[in-house]
Structure 1
Amino acid sequence: MMTEEKYLSVSILTTYLKRKFDLDPYLKKVYLTGEISNFRMRPNTHQYFSIKDNQSKINVVMFKSAFQKLKFTPEEGMKVLIEGHVSIYPPTGSYQFYIDSMQPDGIGALYAAYEQLKSKLISEGIFSADKKEIPKFPDKLAVITSPSGSVIQDIITTVKRRYPKCQIVLFPAIVQGEKAKDSLIRAIQQIKQTHLEFDTVIVGRGGGSIEDLWPFNEEQVVRQLFELDIPIISSVGHETDTTLSDLVADVRAATPTAAAEIATPNLPDVINYLTQARSRVYQSISKELAYRKQSLVNLTDNPFLKNPGRIYEQQLQLVDQLSNRLHQTVNQIVKKKSYQFEIIGQQIDGKLLSQRISHYQMLVDNQERQLTYYFRQLLNQQLARVQYAMNQLDALSPLNTMNRGYTYTEDSQGQLIKTVAELSANQQLIVHYQDGSAIVDVREIKKENKDD
């Protein structure tokens, strides 16, 4: 009996420790700084998440009344300053921090790295590139995920239910931790190198903190996905999580099940659609055949088609009537014009016509004389202008100047000599006259002073 009294129950120990926490003056008002982790917004209720630094992490609780006083929206990776107290939660026996107030204190390291890499890739146009269309009836799906997680099971179950003819090929990869980045890259490269032709690639994993999902934010992983020429569906984390792999993918799905639904058609729906389409085509063809059949009956019963000669009997009669009318009209016109010509011929007097011809001949002769006179006058004026221009040119001609006894001199190279400054003793020159030239030697050079 005494031995049993030495042992405490779990509840008694937890209550004792909780009382110690609650009475400790150092734990009643604690100021804490760290990064928000595992944050999931819960509308209109209490918020449960974690605060961490490089070495430790603590669970925190922020009741609805305190959370409603915040003037900002907490985000994953955000560095914050919080005030509150520490206590123990008896049902689990774990200690946790109860937040009374919270304010931002910069941005956490992972979140900052995420935003920086995101801005870099946006500037390169990776996220804005044209998205590839997901095939409607795939034959093969490639899945990159953990082989032991629930993601691959959800995808297999959904594909078998919706479109069982589609083949699923798993490319196993580590989706969390330090080795995850290289594992994901190897899986993507295996898809590129395989001889199989995949219609769509699904990349997925379950939810988690920003640290858990970080391999899908690695730059090398994002670039490998971008270079893949197969349509990609990303299903990483929960719907509120957005990784850079989600942004580079062609389609983002909220869950692995949703990814499988996007990648495959629902076979019962397809069969139902084809059945309805076949029925519509059958009805359309039946209506068309019935219409054509009735048209054929109508044509067969047409009296004109039964006796085609009746179609053009009336037309032949009309042609005869029009031909007769045309001949009558032509004869009337010919008679009328002949009568008019006869009247005009009677009105024309031969003598009067001869006088008119003589008159117009005189006018023509007169005009011809005037034109000849004016042409000669114009020609004389132009000749006078030409002679004047020739006199002007002759006055300016160098040959005319040489006719008056002038000459010009060149050196042996053919350069014109303008002044005695260009001469030298014993230099050979060529002197040009009006009727020839002479070669001379310079014996003496005399300069004249113009000032004298």
Structure 2
Amino acid sequence: MTEKYLTVTALTKYIKRKFEADPYLDRVFLTGEISNFRMRPNAHQYFSLKDDRSKISAIMFKGAFNSLKFQPEEGMKVLVIGRISLYEASGNYQIYIEHMEPDGVGALYQALEKRKQELQKEGLFNPDFKQPLVRFPKKIAVITSPSGAVIRDIMTTIKRRYPIVQLVIFPTLVQGDKAAADITRRIKEVDAIGDFDTMIVARGGGSIEDLWPFNEENVARAIFEARTPIVSSVGHETDITIADLVADVRAATPTAAAEIATPVLTEELLKIKEKENRLNQAMSNQLKYKKQLYDHAMNSFVFKQPKRLYEAFSVQLDMLNRRLEQSLILEVQSKEKEYRTLTQKLYFQHPQGKVDVSKQQVNYLNEKLLTTMQSLMKDNQTNLSQLLLNLDMLSPLKTMLRGYSYVTVDEKIIKSTTELKENQTLTVHLSDGEVETRVSEIKQKEL
């Protein structure tokens, strides 16, 4: 009779097998409200999903939970995707959630993913375009709401870490329909001022609707085009907006943003002091080393026995002097031998005979030259006398002796009556002198 009875374990295994074999339960889409949720850090999450009439246990493994882009809260309506199975120890069926998102914002998530893909294709998320932060900023601009914990956290952190920096707050809308335009305007305003080393864009946590202005395209492009390096801290650590992806650096929290943007002044001063000590130590070691080199040099033979420095050169100089003397002696002997040879040749080729012959030739040529010159002079005198006679025959003075004269005015010879004027003074040139006269009347001949 007992063979007809199943154990609880066998029945449970059978029911579990039915759950896992049913294709409709392998991927279930549910909507419900989160219940009994208690956050378990870095662990699997156990809670329930309920509606007005029913409730189902839920488990979300650590890997799937860490990939969420929002923070689940008690009472939050969500959309989940998972599989249904049975937990054998308690006999309860439960849903193993693989994906979860807030109910009512699924369209926003789809729009967000689509915009991310478009901007990523354009290269707005490319690490090559991200600017390095200034290590020691002098002036930081903070774009956020002027009230709330965000600005207080940033101010407190920066004052604690790096109080020498100038912090300028640019009050900005961070939620609502007008927030995106206001954030864009503030980013461009800070960048246009141009003297800020770093810009922090920050906002506290919230729902995807609250954070949506930081997912707008105009905000993303303003961050991408800014020349001032930007640190983005929007929402909680699990919230990642498009502004975070485009910014040069993303910080998980406003406090982290302040820490990323500034060094710790006391640590930097300590580093400077350490480097100063190292520099002093290095300089001291260098001085000791140089002192050792100096002492070694001063104790060398160069300074104590300087003659040893040039002893070898002195020996070499003596050898060169001897070689020079020997070379000079050989050169003189060679020249003397050459001189004797040339003297002997000159003796046999004495020029006295050539000199006597040349003297006879010179005497002959002198006599010939004298005869030629006398003949030439006589011919030239005859030609000159004839030329003088011919010239005298052509001389105007001969003509003037026969009663002719010529007239000038201001040393210009007058050739026609047209060149004269009445009462003009003339000079008449005669053979034995000149006569001054005046024109009283001009008579012209008719041709």
The TM-score with structure 2 as length reference comes to 0.53
SS at 2:201 equivalent: strand
Work out the CA distance in 2 between the residues paired with 1:135 and 1:50. Answer: 48
Measured after TM superposition, the shift of residue 217 of structure 1 is 0.7
Aligned residue in 2 for 1:241: 239
Q: Deviations over 1:258-297 (max 9, x none)?
A: 1111111111101111111111111111121222223222
SS at 1:137 equivalent: coil
- Is 1:197 the equivalent of 2:195? yes
Measured after TM superposition, the shift of residue 42 of structure 1 is 5.1
Measured after TM superposition, the shift of residue 113 of structure 1 is 0.9
Aligned residue in 2 for 1:142: 141
Aligned residue in 1 for 2:185: 186
Contact 2:143–2:186 (8 Å) recurs in 1:
yes
Measured after TM superposition, the shift of residue 207 of structure 1 is 2.0
What amino acid is the match of 2:136? F
- Relative to structure 1, the CA distance from residue 145 to residue 80 in structure 2 (aligned partners, 3 Å threshold; closer, same or farther) is same
Contact 1:62–1:100 (8 Å) recurs in 2:
yes
Measured after TM superposition, the shift of residue 184 of structure 1 is 1.2
- Is 1:67 the equivalent of 2:67? no
What amino acid is the match of 1:215? P
- Relative to structure 1, the CA distance from residue 146 to residue 40 in structure 2 (aligned partners, 3 Å threshold; closer, same or farther) is farther
Aligned residue in 1 for 2:334: none
SS at 2:137 equivalent: coil
- Relative to structure 1, the CA distance from residue 46 to residue 225 in structure 2 (aligned partners, 3 Å threshold; closer, same or farther) is same
Aligned residue in 1 for 2:373: none
Contact 1:76–1:111 (8 Å) recurs in 2:
no
Q: Give ranges in structure 2 of 5+ residues lacking alignment.
A: 1-28, 71-77, 85-92, 330-447
Measured after TM superposition, the shift of residue 188 of structure 1 is 1.4
- Relative to structure 1, the CA distance from residue 161 to residue 291 in structure 2 (aligned partners, 3 Å threshold; closer, same or farther) is same
Most deviating of 170-179 and 100-109: 100-109
Contact 1:70–1:102 (8 Å) recurs in 2:
no
What amino acid is the match of 2:234? V
Contact 1:34–1:81 (8 Å) recurs in 2:
no
SS at 1:177 equivalent: coil
Contact 1:46–1:63 (8 Å) recurs in 2:
no
What amino acid is the match of 1:260? A
- Relative to structure 1, the CA distance from residue 131 to residue 49 in structure 2 (aligned partners, 3 Å threshold; closer, same or farther) is farther
Aligned residue in 1 for 2:80: 80
State the identity as a percent: 46
Following superposition, which runs of at least 4 residues in structure 1 exceed 3 angstroms of deviation?
31-36, 38-43, 45-51, 60-64, 66-84, 98-107, 318-329
Work out the CA distance in 2 between the residues paired with 1:45 and 1:82. Answer: 15
Work out the CA distance in 1 between the residues paired with 2:114 and 2:181. Answer: 21
SS at 2:129 equivalent: coil
Aligned residue in 2 for 1:169: 168
Q: 2:278 aligns with which of 248, 265, 280?
A: 280
- Relative to structure 1, the CA distance from residue 302 to residue 74 in structure 2 (aligned partners, 3 Å threshold; closer, same or farther) is closer
Aligned residue in 2 for 1:375: none
Measured after TM superposition, the shift of residue 246 of structure 1 is 0.7
Work out the CA distance in 1 between the residues paired with 2:55 and 2:269. Answer: 52
Work out the CA distance in 2 between the residues paired with 1:167 and 1:153. Answer: 15
The TM-score with structure 1 as length reference comes to 0.53
Measured after TM superposition, the shift of residue 49 of structure 1 is 9.8
Contact 2:45–2:65 (8 Å) recurs in 1:
no
Q: CA RMSD in A?
A: 4.3
For residues 384-423 of structure 1, the aligned pairs below 5 Å read none
